[in-house]
Amino acid sequence: MKILVVNPNTTATMTETAAHAARSVAAPGTEIVAVTAADGPASIEGYYDEAFAVPGLIRAIREGAADGADAAIVACFDDTGLDAARAFAAIPVVGLCEAALVTAGQIAKRISIVTTLSRSIVPIEDLVRRYGYAERVRVRASDVPVLALEDPASGARAKLTAEIERALVEDRAEAIVLGCAGMADLARALSLQYGLPVVDGVAAAVKQAEALVGLKLSTSKTGTYAPPPAKPYAGLLAGFAPL
């Protein structure tokens, strides 16, 4: 089984973080192929970045599927371009936020998502409502820029743990979901530190992708995710025209 992990931003070190988290939980026989989008923003922090990350994501999934990937993971907690990817890809495509919520929802009732910047709260709250978890989930921000997660001198880890501690007291959280792919390498240590489940979306997405492939299930092409109708696209997007 080959699972494609696509980082829709262009920071290769974040791809490496996601790849390590994915490989640490992958079953024997599962090959993780991690790729970085060739086009788009260095990090995805809000709606504007998200819009310009989608073409690079689509291209990477299209190429990965052609190379034999059995499933794809969108390695951004905003589930960037997830619906568009599901509409064109023949293989199943899994998003981090949805996978993390489904996983956390099976082991806890009160869930707190701790993300990066405050500007990401509303986009993630929109996803939480869409996925049906609004009554069980609180979204919090540690006010750490995404790229600061890779800088040991940034104080990002301390800010993240401080926000988790507030969630435990103020939200009475029973499980924590890490709201950024760049946090993936922290999940195990934080779970041990606080004595409760800390869910990383990358790991959760890998296990769900493996399950879908194992069950021989892929995205329904009837209705919502039917292939887009053929039509010309113009300008810089001409290469994305549905065939």
pLDDT of 144 strictly over 80: yes
Find the angle CA(29)-CA(202)-CA(74) to the nearest 5 degrees: 95
pLDDT of 83 strictly over 80: yes
CATH topology assigned to domain 98-202:
Rossmann fold (3.40.50)
Q: How confident is the model at residue 223 (pLDDT cuts 50, 70, 90)?
A: very high
Indicate yes or no: pTM above 0.85.
Answer: yes
Beta bridge partners of 199: 177
pLDDT of 45 strictly over 80: yes
Find the angle CA(153)-CA(78)-CA(103) to the nearest 5 degrees: 95
pLDDT of 147 strictly over 90: no
Q: What is the pLDDT of residue 8?
A: 97
Q: What is the pLDDT of residue 64?
A: 97
Which tokens go with 106?
């099976």
Q: Which of 6, 29, 10 is nearest to 18 (CA)?
A: 6
Q: For the structural domain made of 2-95+203-240, what CATH number should be given?
A: 3.40.50.12500
φ/ψ region of 235 (left if φ > 0, alpha if ψ in -120 to 50, else beta) reads left
Q: What is the pLDDT of residue 96?
A: 98
Q: How many CB atoms lie under 10 A from the CB of residue 114?
A: 27
pLDDT of 3 strictly over 90: yes
Which tokens go with 197?
């489940």
**Strand intervals (E) in the chain:** 2-7, 31-36, 71-74, 93-95, 111-115, 137-141, 175-178, 198-200
Beta strands 2-7 and 31-36 are: parallel
pLDDT digits over 174-196, tens only?
A: 999 999 988 888 999 999 999 99
pLDDT digits over 69-81, tens only?
A: 999 999 999 999 9
Tell the residue number behind the tokens 């709201």, with chain if given. 179
Q: What is the pLDDT of residue 152?
A: 78
Instruction: Say if CB 181 and CB 7 are below 8 A apart.
Output: yes
Phi, psi of 7, rounded to the nearest 5 degrees: -85, 115
| Residue ranges matching CATH 3.40.50.12500 in the chain | 2-95+203-240, 98-202
> Mean per-residue pLDDT for 160-182?
95
Among 64-73, 83-92, 99-108, 182-191, the minimum mean pLDDT is found in 182-191
